[in-house]
Structure 1
Amino acid sequence: MRSVAVFLASSNGSDPAHAALAASVGTELARQGITLVYGGGRRGLMGMVADSALKAGGEVIGVMPRSMVEREWAHEGATQLLICDSMHERKALMAERADAFIALPGGLGTLEEIFEVWSWRQLGFHDKPIGFLDAGGFWAPLLGALRDIAASGFIPASTLDDLAVASDLPGLLEALQERLHSLPQPAHGKSLR
Structure 2
Amino acid sequence: MFLLTKLTLLMNKITLIISGLILLFFSGGMAQDGMKSSLKNHQTNGGLKFESESVNRSANGTYSEIIQLFNLTGKAQAIQFRILINKASDDYDALIFKDIEKGSDLKDPGWLLDFNVIKDSSKNSNAEEVFVLLYNSNQNSGLQPGDYFDLVKVNYKTINLPDTKSIKKSSMKIVKAEASTFDGFPLLIQSTKDEIKINIEGKKK
Q: Which has the higher strand share?
A: 2
Relative contact order higher in (CA < 8 Å, ≥ 6 apart): 2
TM more than 0.5: no
TM-score (ref. length: structure 1) = 0.23
TM-score (ref. length: structure 2) = 0.22
Which is higher, the Rg of structure 1 or of structure 2?
A: 2
